[in-house]
Amino acid sequence: MSSQLEQLKAMTTVVADTGDFEAINQYQPQDATTNPSLILNAIQIEKYRPLAAEAVTWAKAHSDDTDEVITKAADKLAVLIGAKLMAQVPGLVSTEVDARLSFDSQATVAKALELVTLYKQQGVDTSRVLIKIASTWEGVQAAKILEAQGIRCNLTLVFAFAQARACAEAGAYLISPFVGRILDWYKANDTSADFTGANDPGVQSVTHIYNYFKKHDYKTIVMGASFRNISEIQELAGCDRLTISPKLLAELAETDTPLTQKLTAATETAAAPDAMTEQAFRWEMNQDAMATEKLSQGIRQFALDQEKLESILAALV
């Protein structure tokens, strides 16, 4: 029997959650996605450091201001890595906007346009680029503007149903609802509960989002993310897409038991409700302690890793 990774690819689009080119070559996913944490990890590997040097050299040729050079170098590095990933996968690559812009719609739009311009300068087919944005209210509104301009977006750090619904109503191309980080929160807050298999609250969250989107015929793609174990992946087999770390890709590749498809699209659809208001979105987020905490924590961590990345680049200026 074929491995569970091969079985999964037959029912779900598999995305590599890494900036490691060798891992992508090994597991041959359809798409790839990165974030500041993954880029930071990648350039600390010696063989990827030349990309950082190239980014700094380019930035120095385009600005005399040190702070601006560092910012430009960080953007250029993300695009250089993204372009290399595109040479390895046949599908899409997600590149993330600076997390420090998560509460500024216009600044997010401006940064997204800068990234797309950099990709064009690399000679990349920008229809294969997804701009990755934190799913705050401001991030969702930025995505709505970008999608209207033909720039497709990946709304990330989705922990609450309110976030997912707002993204779909804004016409986002794709969302990344997190699984493992939801599980982390519930395990920390209830040490006695059984969260295995279908009882995993992260699995339940993505399942609910997927079923709601299919019921109301939203075109937004659901891409489960942030997995802690292959059981979570097995429970979401059939989801539109799943973005998986090299470690778990390896585990799936080494497992050859039958894989059952758990999610299937609804055969009958119903009219979607009226779109959420900003007030309703913020209230639902306020009432969801897990989502509020994990969204803030995720943005802070990405911002911190962005700052660490910029420190490494600053040393090369």
Active site residues: 132
Q: How far is CA 297 from the centre of its chain?
A: 15
Q: Between β-strands 129-134 and 31-33, what pairing exists: parallel, antiparallel or unpaired?
A: unpaired
Task: Give me the phi and psi of 268, to 5 degrees please.
Answer: -120, 140
Adjacent-strand bridge partners of 16: 32, 244
**DSSP-derived secondary structure for 2-21:** --HHHHHHTTSEEEEE-S-H
Q: 212-247 burial by CB neighbour count: b if 16+ within 10 A, else e?
A: bbbebebebbbbbbbbbebebbbbbbbbbbbbbbbe
How large is the C-alpha radius of gyration of the chain? 19
Count H helices, E strands: the chain? 14, 8
Angle at 143 between CA 290 and CA 38, to 5 degrees: 60
